[in-house]
Structure 1
Amino acid sequence: MKVNLEVNCTPEEARAFFGLPDLKPMQDRIMGEIEERLRSSLNAMNPEAIFKTWLPASMQGVEQMQQIQQAFWAQLANIASGKKE
């Protein structure tokens, strides 16, 4: 024997029938707070600040390497021209 039972109701009606609480107002408040925090965080960060946060040490390293390279080539040019420093 096979019995099929079809119930046609909305999720809200099923929740009320089983006595479950409606969490939609709480979810809406939490999602609103999350959205507000996300927007304030995004407005506070500009691309330059993000880049400096991600790569501060490596950027300083690149600048130092450029200075060393310039000093090296200047010294090499002095040696080639016969100047002593």
Structure 2
Amino acid sequence: MKCTLEVECTPLEARQFFGLPDLQPLQATILAEVEKKMLTEMERFSPEGVLKSWLSMFAQSPEQMQQAFSKMMFTGLNRTKS
């Protein structure tokens, strides 16, 4: 004997019918926290943030910048001669 039963209900109604806990408040809290963290990380990878992090690696004065570039150039020239 085969019996088919179709029930139309929302996911919330199905959870309530089977006695499962309502996780919507927990889910909303977690999603809000994830959204906050994502926005914080997006600010870090904004063009201004990336530029600031890249510029912090370079020398601050023009003389230091010139010395760094000349050192890189001479290092590269010495490698090509070898």
Query: Which range, TM-score by smaller chain?
Result: 0.5 to 0.7
Q: The residue matched to 1:3 in structure 2 has which SS?
A: coil
1:49/1:5 Cα in 2 relative to 1: closer, same or farther (>3 Å)? same
* Matched residues, number: 63
In the alignment, is residue 47 of structure 1 matched against residue 54 of structure 2? no
Answer whether contact 2:44 2:50 (CA < 8 A) is retained: no
For structure 2, which runs of at least 5 residues remain unmatched after alignment? 58-67
Residue 2 of structure 1: aligned partner: 2
After superposition, what is the alpha-carbon deviation per residue over 1:21-74, rounded to whole angstroms, capped at 9, x for unaligned?
011111111111111122123224412245569xx6xxxxx83331x16x98xx
Q: TM-score, normalised by structure 2?
A: 0.58
In the alignment, is residue 22 of structure 1 matched against residue 25 of structure 2? no
Residue 77 of structure 1: aligned partner: none
1:47/1:14 Cα in 2 relative to 1: closer, same or farther (>3 Å)? same
Residue 65 of structure 1: aligned partner: 72
Identity of aligned residues (%): 38
After the TM superposition, list the runs of 4 or more consecutive aligned residues in structure 1 that deviate by more than 3 angstroms.
49-53
What code does the residue aligned with 1:3 have? C
